Amino acid sequence: MAASAAQTSTAAMRQQLLAQIQAYQTNQARVNNGIGRLTQMDTAAITPLMVANVSRQLANESARLAQLADSIDSTIALTTHTHTQARRLHNALRPIIRRIRLPKAIELAGVGGVVQFDDQLSHGDVMKAMWVVEEGGEGGWREVADTLRLSEHCGYCQLPITVDAGDLQTHATKTDYSSLPRFCAQWMLVGRRMAFRRSNGQHDGTLELFRHNDNELRLIRNEPGFAITLNPPLPRPNRPVHPFSQQPFLQHAKPHDPPVRCRITWQPSVGWVPVAANNGGVSASASSMLRTLLLTHRRTAVGGMSQSPIVHVDRSVRGGHLNRMLTRSPHTLLDGCSDVLRYEKSSGDCVQMPMLTSSDNPFIAYIAFGFPPGLNDNQNVHIIIRTTEAPAAGVANDAPFAQRFPRTASKARRVLGPISPIALDGQAP
């Protein structure tokens, strides 16, 4: 409103000035015409009184014209200087925005050392980058940072990744950017930098997010079968008791990182493929879905991941410690964990995966709590621990999991608490 009022006031002042100039030019033309005719008259016909009167007025008007000319020249000079100074100030601010303000915004957004912007960006693109980074507020890129760090840990990218002018053009306007949940809009800028590669170097696509016809999101491939659905219903919404809690994904949904249905799975002999339309699983959030896909590829396509024997544990034993872990918010971290992933398959099988390691660790490890259909009505939980930790030297291959992978077992014990002897040492409930 203030900007509009200022523009209206400026336009009115300009119109007033133009009207005054037009009136002056009209009168000036009349004076010039009169002076021309006066100089053509016979001087004998002009009385001394008339000559004195005209001479006095000419002298006065000449002085005022000189004063007017000085005022106009001063106004032009001052305006030109002001515009020049404004341009100089604007140009001086450009490197400050690029070198100081943008890096500070990146740190506040939570992606310091994870995301950077191309040094060759135009000033317009730098300003767009500023808006994109600052739009989510402090920590607004945390989910992106966590996903990128896991991607590097899996070997699919090298941090920091660089966002260039082409990436920024993914969103033509602020309206386009804001029309998506924030995490999805952010991931569209960086996803193509995540390249799935097997241990032999074979490329299995990128974790790129595509917008199709403005109303559909697709992942990995810009094909119909690779579409994802935001805020979907749960696969089995009518069951009386949910394994985790009553409708956990819906109760605890985050608007900027919402639950997602994804039909994409990995088949060793084929690669990424979509399953049947009704068989897609639902993840607690878009970022959780991406991290689950990263771990799926790392485990099944790259390999080198060991797992403990499956153990079935009643969720109520040892004071209900396991039950308390499973019924908290899907976005609440367990003690000693860097992340927690949750999804529900179309069959109704629910899985929760607390991450035991972060990108600071030399290996990847996590626990998988599952509720396969038919396991005593959600009472029994099957527990698997997976890790890329190298087996301990000098320990037999048939030795218990906790002995072969002592660092993973130590981290798992902190999370499992009183049920760790059951899961790791074979102790009876």
- Determine if residue 94 is left, alpha or beta; phi over 0 gives left, psi from -120 to 50 gives alpha, anything else beta: alpha
Judge if 161 and 255 occupy the same domain: no
At residue 190, the 3 state secondary structure works out as helix
Collect all residues with Cβ–Cβ distance below 8 Å to 322 and sequence separation of at least 6: 313, 315, 316, 369, 381, 419
CA–CA separation, 129 vs 177, rounded Å? 12
Block residue for tokens 């799975």: 265
pLDDT band per the 50, 70, 90 thresholds, residue 332: confident
The reply to whether 295 falls in a domain is yes
C-alpha torsion sign, points 317, 357, 349, 288: positive
The answer to whether residues 214 and 178 belong to one domain is no
Could you tell me if residue 160 is inside a domain? Answer: yes
Q: What is the pLDDT of residue 43?
A: 61
Q: How far apart are CA 215 and CA 229, in angstroms?
A: 10
Q: Tell which wins on pLDDT, 145 or 68.
A: 145
pLDDT at 238: 66
Q: What string of DSSP letters covers 343-381?
A: EE-TTS-EEEEEE---TTSSS-EEEEEEE-TTSTTTTEE
Final residue before a domain boundary, out of 182, 198, 217: 182
Report d(CA 331, CA 243) in Å as an integer: 16
- 110, part of any domain: yes
Q: How confident is the model at residue 273 (pLDDT cuts 50, 70, 90)?
A: very high
Note whether 273 and 415 are same-domain residues. yes
Residue 369 falls within a domain, yes or no? yes
> Taking the C-alpha atoms of 346, 352, 356 and 360 in order, what is their torsion angle to the nearest 10 degrees?
50
Say yes or no: 376 and 233 in one domain: yes
Q: Which two tokens stand for residue 373?
A: 């259909």
Strand partners, 352: 342, 369
- What's the predicted TM-score (pTM) here? 0.76
Rounded mean pLDDT, 2-24: 66
137 plus 223 within the same structural domain: no
Indicate whether 232 and 369 sit together in one domain.
yes
Same domain? For 299 and 385 the reply is yes
Q: What is the pLDDT of residue 271?
A: 92
**What is the DSSP secondary-structure string of 217-285?**
EEESSSSGGGEEEESPPPSSTT-SS-SSSSSHHHHT-BTTB--EEE-EEEETTTEEEE--GGG-EEESS
Cα 251 from Cα 254, distance rounded (Å): 9
Q: What is the pLDDT of residue 376?
A: 54
82-137 residue pLDDT tens: 455 545 544 544 565 567 888 889 999 999 999 999 988 888 898 899 899 998 88
**What is the percentage of the chain residues whose pLDDT exceeds 70?**
77
Mean pLDDT check: name the lowest of 170-174, 273-277, 374-378.
374-378
Could you list the residue range(s) of the whole structural domain that residue 355 is in?
208-425
Query: Which of 14-18, 126-130, 282-286, 330-334 bottoms out in mean pLDDT, i.e. has the lowest?
Result: 14-18
Confidence of residue 263 (pLDDT cuts 50, 70, 90): very high
Single-letter residue type at 288: S
The bridge status of strand 264-267 relative to strand 216-219 is: unpaired
Cα–Cα dist 308/321, whole Å: 20
Closest C-alpha among 55, 35, 51 to residue 43 = 51
Q: Are residues 169 and 221 in the same domain?
A: no
Ranking 69-78, 120-129, 405-414, 419-428 by mean pLDDT, the lowest is 69-78
Instruction: Answer yes or no: do 232 and 160 share one domain.
Output: no
- What is the pLDDT confidence band of residue 423, given thresholds at 50, 70 and 90? very high
In a domain, 318, yes or no: yes
One domain, residues 323 and 401: yes
What's the start-to-end Cα distance of the chain, in Å? 69
pLDDT at 165 over 80: yes
Residue 102 lies in a domain: yes
**For 342-401, what is each residue's pLDDT tens digit?**
888 877 788 999 999 999 999 999 999 998 776 656 788 999 999 999 999 999 999 999
* Tally of CA atoms within 13 A in the half-sphere of 31 that contains its CB: 12
pLDDT for the residue numbered 177: 92
Residue 273's identity, in one-letter code, is V
Q: What are 396-405's contacts with CB under 8 Å, separation 24+?
A: 400/424, 400/425, 400/426, 401/306, 401/308, 401/309, 404/306, 405/306, 405/365
The pLDDT of residue 89: 44
Mean pLDDT rounded to a whole number for the chain: 84
Cβ atoms of 121 and 162 within 8 Å: the answer is: no
CA distance 127 to 31: 55
Q: What's the number of domains the chain is made of?
A: 2
Which of the listed residues 118, 147, 182 is the one where a domain comes to its end?
Answer: 182
More confident of the two residues 128 and 45: 128
Q: Do residues 278 and 392 both lie within one domain?
A: yes
Q: Is the peptide bond before 240 cis (omega within 30 degrees of 0)?
A: no
Judge whether 199 lies within some domain.
no
- Cα separation values, 359 from 157, 353, 417, Å: 13, 16, 23
Q: Are residues 108 and 239 in the same domain?
A: no
Of 35-49, 142-156, 193-207, the poorest mean pLDDT is in: 35-49
